[in-house]
Amino acid sequence: MIHKRFFYPLTLGLSLVPALCLVILTSPKTYALPGQATEEVEAWIKSHPTLLPNPGERFFIQKSDTAAQRFTFQASVLAPGKAGFVGQRNTIRNERIAMYDAINGMSFNRLQESLRIIYGLDIYQDFERAQVIYDYPNQSAINSARLAKTPIREALQGELRLGDRYGYWMEVAQPKNGKAYTGQMLVFLKTDLDKLEAELRNR
């Protein structure tokens, strides 16, 4: 049985204000973020009351109580997007939250609440104030996906933001008819923004 705190990110929006307060109040007072050493991030992950890695898990955390609800957290030394040259192998460049919820569905709001729970108010406010650099899909992308008969690409909705401290990318797969079940949120170094934006615009 997974620690009960795990399900707060998965069940956001279901009137769990007391539960959310409990998680925030018991969260670590320090945060490990992109730009920090792998050792610092690993120590933060181990002590985080929501992430709670299993034995053997270091930078990739998986949680699943049922097949219908899954949560993963990954810290990486790679730039977000397509894999490329690895610079400093001892520095984290992006951290990714990914969720699948076939029961309650997925939304931008739930991804944002997960960001707040895991990283705290400072990072959440940086995200809130961040400038939207690119959002999708536009009508041209929708028409292109329909012509190519790629409904998965047509379903992707995302937003790329640039804050004072970090870059942020969130994405959900929202079908034309039906509920979105999957979503992801990335926190990454601002220096990697141009690379990710170019890839998103051209994929």
Q: What is the pLDDT of residues 8-36, one digit of tens each?
A: 344 333 332 323 333 333 444 457 899 99
Say what the pLDDT of residue 146 is. 56
Tokens 């640039």 belong to which residue?
162
Say what the pLDDT of residue 106 is. 93
Say what the pLDDT of residue 27 is. 45
Nearest to 157 by CA among 141, 146, 177, 143: 141
Collapsed DSSP state (helix, strand, coil) of residue 108: helix
Residue 77 has pLDDT above 80, yes or no: yes
Most confident of 51-55, 87-91, 154-158: 51-55
Band (86; pLDDT cuts 50, 70, 90): low
CB hemisphere CA count around 165 (13 angstroms): 15
Residue 122 has pLDDT above 70, yes or no: yes
139-189 pLDDT, tens per residue? 665 556 555 555 566 678 999 999 999 999 999 987 777 788 999 999 999
Per-residue burial over 64-97, b if 16 or more Cβ lie within 10 Å, else e, is eeeeebbbebebbbbbbbeeeeeeeeeebbbbbb
User: What letter would DSSP give residue 91?
Assistant: B
Question: Strand order of the sheet with strand 60-66?
Answer: 60-66, 69-76, 94-101, 182-188, 167-173, 156-162, 131-136
Domain interval for residue 135: 4-78+87-202
When divided into structural domains, the chain yields a total of: 1
Mean predicted lDDT score pLDDT of the chain = 81
Over residues 113-134, mean pLDDT:
96
